[in-house]
Structure 1
C-alpha cells in the first residue's frame, strides 16, 4: 500500500511539473497552452468503444470535456507514477535515481504517439500535422520534464521519510 501511495504522489508531482513547464513555454516562448478539451472528448468517446477518430473536433462534443481532459491528464500521470513505484520498488524510493524515471518518461511518449495522437485524428506521432517534428520534439522534452518530476518528487518523499 505504501508503494501505491508513493506512486500516487510522484504521479501528481510529475504531472504538475509538466504543467508548470507548459506555462513556462507559454509565458516565455509563446508556445500555445495545452488544450485538454479534445482529450476529454476523446476520453468521453472511449465509453462507446471509439478509440480512433479521423478528427476529434468533428466528434460529438461533451459538455464537460475540458474538465474530463484535465482529470484524465492527472489520472494518467498518477497511473504512470504507480507503475514506476511498482517496477522500481521500495529500494528506489529510499535512494531515487533519475534513470528509471527517465526510461519510463520515454516509454510514456509512445502512449501519446501511438494511442492518443492517432485517437485524436493527428496520425501516428502527429504525422498529419504540418509541424510534426516540432510536436515530436516537444513531446520528448515534456516527457523528460515529467521524468524529472517523478524523480524530484521521489527525492522529496525520501527527504521527509
Structure 2
C-alpha cells in the first residue's frame, strides 16, 4: 500500500477515534463541537465572511452539517499528513506514540487561534463562559486524536501483514 493511502486511512482512523471519544462524552451529557458550526463557518467563507460575532447567531446554511463532517475528516487527514511530513514516511511502518501525541497537541493551535476566534468565541474560548473547561476538553480531544493516529497506524500495519 502506498504511503499516501496509508496516511489517508490513518487520518480517518484518528478522526474516528476522536469521534468515539466525543460520543463517550455525550453519554455523560458533556457536549463537544457541533460540526454544523464548522460547516456554517466554511459555508460562509464562500460568501466572503470569515469571522462571526457568535457563529451560533449566524443564520444556518443548507447542508452545513454535511459540510462540517466532511471538513472535520479532511482536517484530520491533513493533520495525519503533517505527522508523516514531520516524522517522514518511516513512521508509517514503525509508528511510535510520542510524535503522534505531540502532533495531536500541536493541532490544538487550529481551534484555539483560528476557529474559535473566527466563531466569535475569542482566542482559546476567552470570550465564552467557563473557557477553562472548554480548553481542557479541547486538549483532551486533541490528545485522543494523537493516540488515534498511533493506534490507527498500528492497526493498519497489523492488517497489512495479514
TM-score (structure 2 length as normaliser):
0.92
Instruction: Tell me which protein shows more helix as a share of its residues.
Output: 1
* Residues 37 and 67 in structure 1, CA contact (< 8 A), matched pair in contact too: yes
Matches within 5 A, 1:133-144: 133-144=132-143
The residue number in structure 2 matching 1:132 is: 131
Task: Measure the CA separation in 2 of the matches of 1:158 and 1:87.
Answer: 20
The residue number in structure 2 matching 1:13 is: 13
Counterparts in 2 of 1:33 and 1:123: CA distance versus 1, 3 Å: closer
Task: Measure the CA separation in 1 of the matches of 2:5 and 2:66.
Answer: 24
The residue number in structure 1 matching 2:94 is: 95
* Residues 55 and 122 in structure 1, CA contact (< 8 A), matched pair in contact too: yes
Gaps of 5+ in 1: none
Alpha-carbon deviation of 1:59?
A: 2.7
Counterparts in 2 of 1:151 and 1:143: CA distance versus 1, 3 Å: same
Alpha-carbon deviation of 1:60?
A: 3.9
The residue number in structure 1 matching 2:106 is: 107
Task: Measure the CA separation in 2 of the matches of 1:49 and 1:9.
Answer: 32
The residue number in structure 1 matching 2:84 is: 85
What secondary structure is seen at the aligned counterpart in 2 of 1:106? helix
Gaps of 5+ in 2: none
TM-score (structure 1 length as normaliser):
0.93
What secondary structure is seen at the aligned counterpart in 1 of 2:81? helix
**Across the two proteins, how many residue pairs are aligned to each other?**
160
The residue number in structure 1 matching 2:122 is: 123
